[in-house]
Structure 1
């Protein structure tokens, strides 16, 4: 198998039905060698089609040891990691005053510390080659934080801030950092959010909002949402450019949320309260 001329792309969170899975296919279609990872191989079974551009690897982004082992294995096997795509993430739905702190910690551990584990593991290797790309998957909700998804939005806000700093710190080492910001993209995140929501306690102060809080889990999965394949194809093309942009956002709500970000706070609050029925 000839891999010398193929870019090696390590992607986290590649379970079937998600953006990471679609990204694995998109990069493979562009002649990249894709190392697709998830917590279990079985969750990526649809990628196991015998095509040598896919290499499936179990990876738990919550484990320092597992992250180091996987990165070392990939470098040993293929000689390099050209692109790291931090895509693995979890939703967290509920009012901030009542969400269990254990859920807050898990969300940040996955969405913030997970990417940082991968970044700290691959940067020494990329720096030694003076070449590499790190892609962090953010969220348009950061541009207009609203009710019921405050924990998730805060974790993605932290990731956005880290990405901005990394872009400046890693550029002298020859490493590009790209913030990919999906709009409304149809994926399994809605189902996953509802599954996580089912483990939440019964709300006390917000009992009357039970219905709209649960609806928030599916907010980005409506009829206007684009497919994960469409998003992945656009994203892969942009990332593979010789000089990729620092920020790439695509999908419904991308433009409107960018506008909302610059509105006066009282107008922003009004619009978000209406949208989230608060």
Structure 2
């Protein structure tokens, strides 16, 4: 009996990590079902790779997620080998300045849509000989990065959800892998930092911007990140967590072996938060 060509459904493939994941899976002989809000943004992928197919998906729309499920069932005959939840959005605001409505939108894309995708596609993954869910997470699940509290919280929620569903799906032979991502070059910061004109944190805004853009500039190239991640998730045996991206293992060491007060001290100094104490003392 001929071996079946595997299918990988990947969200958020229009650019950055998602685009490179699609290319890398395709280069490994996988049929990639790539999604983006607008399929015209996937024309570069589909025109250059016969085994990459485009599907529309708006993660902020529950009906769009349901429609995607029907389309994938029709295309694959009801089987899926990899569900790669890569798509996500970013929102850079402090806890005091964030707009709750924007935080709700953030959680819809980064958390709730992922939950629904898992619900809908686990039946397809169970029909695979080795169904795997790959969650593209972030080191911010463990690191309280200043000026992005809601984003950090969404990645922490995704991580705990991933740990739980990993246990719940174990009896059904569906593996769940979390990729804990460090710095990778991408356009995720294109919205910049939000702060109202009367924000208490304006004295350190330039410092935070420099940290974020320097980290992005010095991050791992997305193609290198994707190559390493795909190689690992396609192995016969795979770890439950994959730490990948610039500084990811350095951060792993810090959050695993150092006390929390020391991590907080490092971040306080790095973020120049002492300037706020000085401004209040004037």
Q: Same fold (TM over 0.5)?
A: yes
Which aligned runs of 4 or more in structure 1 are off by greater than 4 angstroms?
128-131
Task: Give CA deviations for 1:49-99 in whole Å, capped at 9, x if unaligned.
Answer: 153201011101122221121122112112211110000011111211111
Deviation at residue 45 of structure 1 after TM alignment: 2.8
Task: Give CA deviations for 1:165-195 in whole Å, capped at 9, x if unaligned.
Answer: 011000101100000112111112122x42x
Q: Which runs of 5+ in 1 are unaligned?
A: none
Q: Which residue of 2 aligns with 1:70?
A: 68
Query: Is the contact between residue 180 and residue 249 of structure 1 (CA under 8 Å) also seen in structure 2?
Result: yes
Query: Is the contact between residue 10 and residue 32 of structure 2 (CA under 8 Å) also seen in structure 1?
Result: yes
* In the alignment, structure 1 residue 91 sits paired with structure 2 residue 83: no
Task: Tell me, in whole angstroms, the C-alpha distance in 1 between the residues paired with 2:100 and 2:189.
Answer: 22
* In the alignment, structure 1 residue 37 sits paired with structure 2 residue 31: no
Query: Is the contact between residue 203 and residue 210 of structure 1 (CA under 8 Å) also seen in structure 2?
Result: no
The worse-fitting range, judged by mean Cα deviation, of 115-124 and 261-270 is: 261-270
Q: Which runs of 5+ in 2 are unaligned?
A: 274-282
Query: Is the contact between residue 80 and residue 128 of structure 2 (CA under 8 Å) also seen in structure 1?
Result: no
Structure having greater relative contact order (Cα 8 Å, sep ≥ 6): 1
TM-score normalised according to structure 1 size: 0.91
User: Secondary structure of the residue that 1:48 maps to in structure 2?
Assistant: helix
The worse-fitting range, judged by mean Cα deviation, of 181-190 and 129-138 is: 129-138
Query: Is the contact between residue 132 and residue 174 of structure 2 (CA under 8 Å) also seen in structure 1?
Result: yes
CA 1:259–1:185: 2 relative to 1, 3 Å = same
* In the alignment, structure 1 residue 245 sits paired with structure 2 residue 239: yes
Q: Which residue of 1 aligns with 2:278?
A: none
Q: How many aligned residue pairs are there?
A: 270
Q: Which residue of 2 aligns with 1:109?
A: 108
Deviation at residue 128 of structure 1 after TM alignment: 5.1
The structure with the largest alpha-carbon Rg is 2
What is the 5 A alignment of 1:84-163? Answer: 84-127=83-126, 131-163=130-162
CA 1:204–1:179: 2 relative to 1, 3 Å = same
Task: Tell me, in whole angstroms, the C-alpha distance in 1 between the residues paired with 2:100 and 2:208.
Answer: 18
The worse-fitting range, judged by mean Cα deviation, of 145-154 and 129-138 is: 129-138
